[in-house]
Amino acid sequence: MNKEHVKTVVLTLLVIISCILTYKSWSYTAEFETIDTTLSPSPMASQGEDVTFGDVIRAYQVVYATEQEEIGTVDKDVIAEIGKLFNEKEVQFLNHPESINQLKADALIEGSEMLLIDYYSEIPARTFFTMLKSDIDENFVDFQFDRVFLELHDNYVVFNFFNSERTMFIPYRIDVSKDEVIQIINRNSDKFTDYSMVITNEATSNRLTAIYGPKSPGKKTVHQFIPSTISVSAMNETLFTQSNIEQKQTKDITVYEADTEIATYTSSNYQYTFMNLKGSDVNELSPYRSIEKSFIFLNGHMGLTSRYTLLEYDSDDNLVVYRPLINNYIVFSDEIMSEIYVKIGKTTITEYSRPMIQLNANIPSDLSVTLEDIEKVRYQIVLHEDYELSKVSKIIIAYDLKHNTDQSELNVVEYTPSWYILYDGEWIKYDIGEEA
């Protein structure tokens, strides 16, 4: 009887607890905090993204040419997929740099298929193979290049690296079959468009060395964004090693100064520049090590995002320059700071400059521009009295970043597609058609 009594008591308690819990769950009302959804700049110390070396060492296009057609793409996923074929493969050094005439005379350029990979400027071959995580043999010879001609064989590929003057090349071999490369091109055929070959001087006078670009790009969308700002104070805290920082204001320029360090911020174009006054400007590092050092510095405070790409290394000024990309196209601007540059000293970074805005809200827009055919671009350069076609070494599509002309409290910025040319070593916007 005692056992039965205990069971009854326990069951009764369980029923009571169940009823209480059921009541609470049905009568519970969640307490929500009010969220501010208004658009406003959000201060942050950086753009907050850790990237890999391969994220920022990018080609700007791949061109596949046969007797029947010339096609190309700027799609980063296709370019990355081709690169992955060669990841962690052994690189065999084949020969020392030699005259490119040896390749020009080869029957390969007359009719068979070829694959070209173009970069914005010269980079070291060691940087390229480091990006691919390749095994480099002991006889490896470094070489500065901005174009790769992939010589496709049944069981291996020869990487022929061209210098920017198109006078010298150096070959390296990786054991990847031709079929594997062609399969990627065929699988992504919808991402390739018709390309045209442009000859501007003797150096670009054949299929291997000519300039290539989209034949008829047509209508391109103008993108509008509301930018957010990066905190200058937080950036100062990251970079300054001294605490006694004095602040001075002159119009739209703010100066932050310590004993051996100085930073400036220009609010009109969002440019922040930091200088280490005690660092030596003498740089004894190789181009490969200089690029690597800049990347380590920027990634150390998350100063890059996967939108940025290496534009160039200027050995004369020891500058490594990165620029952002929008929809696979690089961004230039005369109004708003858009590049990141790092000046490499003997033992430290001596100067660092960057934009203090980043993209926030994308504003839907039906704005667009129609770009001329690349052949018309070439033709108008020939006719224009202020230009010499022989000084043009690259023709690309890029975005021109500007403040929106219909300014509002939202401070909208616009990215407008345009042709750009590398003219006498300097990137300039092609606007001859707009002047006409």
Q: Does domain 231-322+336-354 have CATH number 3.30.310.160?
A: yes
pLDDT at 281: 77
The answer to whether the CB of 40 falls within 8 A of the CB of 33 is no
* H-helix or E-strand spanning residue 256: strand 253-257
Annotate 364-390 with DSSP letters as a single string.
P---EEEEPPHHHHHHHHHH-TT--GG
Residue whose C-alpha is closest to residue 229's, from 178, 257, 266: 266
Mean pLDDT per block of 10 residues along the chain (436 residues) reads 56 55 39 31 51 92 92 96 92 88 61 88 93 81 93 92 95 94 96 97 92 97 91 93 91 94 95 90 87 94 91 92 96 96 91 91 89 96 94 98 77 94 96 61
Distances (CA, A) of 194 to 64, 78, 376: 10, 16, 15
pLDDT at 12: 61
In terms of C-beta density within 10 A (0-12 exposed, 13-18 middle, 19 or more buried), how is residue 156 classed? Answer: middle
Kindly state the DSSP code that residue 89 receives in the 8-state scheme: P
pLDDT at 33: 34
pLDDT at 27: 38
- From CA 200, how far away is CA 415, in angstroms rounded? 29
CB-based contacts of 383, cutoff 8 Å, min separation 6 = none
- The residue ranges of every structural domain in the chain are 53-214, 231-322+336-354
Residue type for position 343: K
- From CA 368, how far away is CA 339, in angstroms rounded? 24
